[in-house]
Amino acid sequence: MPGIDIDRAWDLHPRVSVRPEPFGALLYHFGTRRLSFLKDRRLLDVVRNLRDAPTARDACARAGVPVSDLPRYGAALGALARSSMLVERTP
Amino acid sequence: MTAGTPAATRLADLFEYGLDAPICLTWELTYACNLSCDHCLSSSGRRDPRELSTAEAKAVIDELEAMQVFYVNIGGGEPTVRPDFWELLDYATAHHVGVKFSTNGVRITPEAARRLAANDYVDVQVSLDGATAEVNDALRGPGSYDTAARAMRHLADAGVRGFKLSVVCTRHNIPQLDAFKAIADEHGAQLRLTRLRPSGRGADVWDELHPAPGQQRELYDWLLAHGDRVLTGDSFFHLSAYGEALPGLNLCGAGRVVCLIDPVGDVYACPFAIHDEFLAGNVREPGGFTGVWRESELFRGLREPQTGGACAACGFHDSCKGGCMAAKFFTGLPLDGPDPECVQGHGEALLAGRSADRSGLPRPRADHSRRAAPPRRGPVPVKLTRRADLDRPPVSACEENPLAGLRLP
């Protein structure tokens, strides 16, 4: 699964609502009416960090994602971007 | 549904143990309805005097906002006949609770349609159960096809894109699936097909109306061919036992990810189970809706791991999970056994074992059906006469004559 360019700045789509859950989080996109989910808390931290981080790579680092796990997290962010949950932003 | 995660757990597996708040819930705003559809799952018709007031309804919305419930499916009855319907709609969307509401179209005027077009957080579902007036009106009543058609025209004219054309699948309309799709396409709408449940008045007509076994296969193939362009509200997961899973969660969400709030504030495990057995509490209780969702013993029980019961040995149990709880309950089948419409045929033998007059089957808790005959209007004629056994007035307690009341033979 191709990931996103983690050296660019990303953010949640403004119409996405995030609800933390014990297993991670639920995401609902009010524009596409699609439900999605994050299956771990660290990914939730990454997604929340996106807004203030200059790059997705930085958002991962701030959430404590080990470098070896970056491809997995990049792929997860890629899936979110494909369903319009994430959008690229100008840093 | 998309999986934006590294781990490979199925979403449905996480949901089986329930969530702190429902993902969406059904909220029936009123039992009042201008129609009397034969298969109404809430037995609606007349308003209940105990229905939630505007203030109470807003308090429920406040709770849903605090719980981060993404959206509510509003229904009834016909929700738009509530005088405060538009006020509640605006209140919910202003408080970040999206609204999808079902209507037979009676109040979708051009003005209402324009109002809906302007609100991004509202979805409209127009109910139609026949692609022709003949099939539709036989079930939903005379004129109901035209009412729905007019509403769809108003919505399309106002620029409401992607509203839903909502169809309950019956024996009579399964042959019309392509025609429904064409009607939806013509209006820029999306088709939504749902399952006929033996709930409410639907219990009385289910035997004659539910799709025949061959039609189930036809429906399944049609759904597979159309993928997620046709919505199903996840209601056909029992068909997954044909092989390939249909799009959606394929899980009975009752009490785990969905529930029902009825017009008087009673909370049930699902919209198809208005019965004491599935009543979890009432939003008017001190803990409110939140308390019911999180603390009710019924819901906690539903979130326990379920055994497959008689189905555990079946190779398809993993895909259909035993089917729909409400469908089993109201057809009198054991809850841990097969769905009455089990595609492997396990339900048919059990259905055949029911008594011919269907006695002993559970009945819905509330019936708000309109009376068959309209209530009498005008004065009721009464003739005043004296009781036949009294030939004179009764004796007063103050009578002093010792012979008072004496009757000589």
Query: With left for phi above 0 and alpha for psi between -120 and 50, is residue B48 left, alpha or beta?
Result: beta
Ranges of chain B whose pLDDT falls below 50: 1-8
**φ and ψ at residue B384, rounded to 5 degrees:** -90, 125
Residue B11 tokens read as 């979403």
Q: Answer yes or no: are the C-beta atoms of B148 and B135 closer than 8 Å.
A: no
> Which pLDDT does position A90 carry in this prediction?
83
pLDDT of residue B306: 77
Bridge pairing between strands B164-169 and B122-127: parallel
Question: Which helix (H) or strand (E) is B73 found in, with range?
Answer: strand B71-76
The fold for domain A10-85 equals Outer Surface Protein A; domain 3 (3.90.930)
A73 touches chain B (CB under 8 A): yes
Nearest to A76 among B6, B121, B123 (CB): B6
The Cα-based distances of A1 to A4, A79, B9, B159 in angstroms read 10, 8, 17, 37
CB B241 within 8 A of CB B401: no
Q: Do A21 and B19 touch (CB under 8 A)?
A: yes
- B interface mutation test: which of A13, A16, A18, A26 has the most B CBs within 10 A? A26
d(C-alpha A8, C-alpha A59), whole Å: 11
Q: Could you give the ipTM of this predicted complex?
A: 0.87
Q: How confident is the model at residue A2 (pLDDT cuts 50, 70, 90)?
A: low
So what's the pLDDT on residue B325? 93
pLDDT of res. B6: 38
pLDDT of B8 = 41
Taking alpha carbons only, the member of B37, B89, B80, B42 closest to residue B61 is B89
Pairing verdict, β A24-29 and A34-38: antiparallel
**Crossing angle for the helix pair B177-186 and B213-226, nearest 10 degrees?**
40
Q: Kindly report the number of other CB atoms within 10 A of residue B132's CB atom.
A: 13
pTM, two decimal places: 0.86
- Which candidate from B11, B98, B120 shows the least CB-CB separation from A37? B11
Q: Measured between beta carbons, which residues in chain A are less than 8 angstroms from residue B5?
A: 24, 37-40, 43, 76, 79
DSSP run (H or E) holding B62:
helix B54-66
Nearest CA in chain B to A43: B5
* A1: pLDDT strictly greater than 70: no
Q: List, as ranges, residues 10-69 from A with C-beta within 8 Å of B.
A: 15, 17, 19, 21-24, 26-28, 30-31, 33-40, 43, 69
pLDDT of residue B373: 57
Predicted pLDDT of residue B390: 75
What is the separation, in whole angstroms, between the first and last Cα of chain A?
A: 26
Strand B98-103 vs strand B122-127: parallel, antiparallel, or unpaired?
Answer: parallel
Q: Do B4 and A26 touch (CB under 8 A)?
A: no
CA-nearest of B162, B364, B13 to A32 is B162
Reported as type and span, the H/E element at residue B397 is: none
Nearest CB among A19, A30, A72 relative to B6 is that of: A72
Inter-chain CB proximity B5 and A82 less than 8 Å: no
Question: How do the domains of chain A map onto residue ranges?
Answer: 10-85
* Residue of chain A with shortest Cα separation from B123: A33
**A to B CB pairs, distance under 8 Å:** 74
The pLDDT value recorded for residue B4 is 42
Chain B contact residues (CB < 8 Å to A): 1-7, 9, 11, 14, 19-21, 23, 68, 70-71, 96, 98, 120-121, 123
Measured in residues, chain B has a length of 409
Verify whether the Cβ–Cβ distance B3 to A26 is below 8 Å.
Answer: no
Are B144 and B136 within 8 A, CB to CB?
yes
* pLDDT value of residue B3: 40
Condensed to tens digits (0 to 9), the pLDDT of residues B302-327 reads: 998 877 788 888 888 888 888 999 99
**Chain B residues in contact with A22 (beta carbon < 8 A):** 20
* Measured distance CA(A89)–CA(A8) in Å, rounded: 8
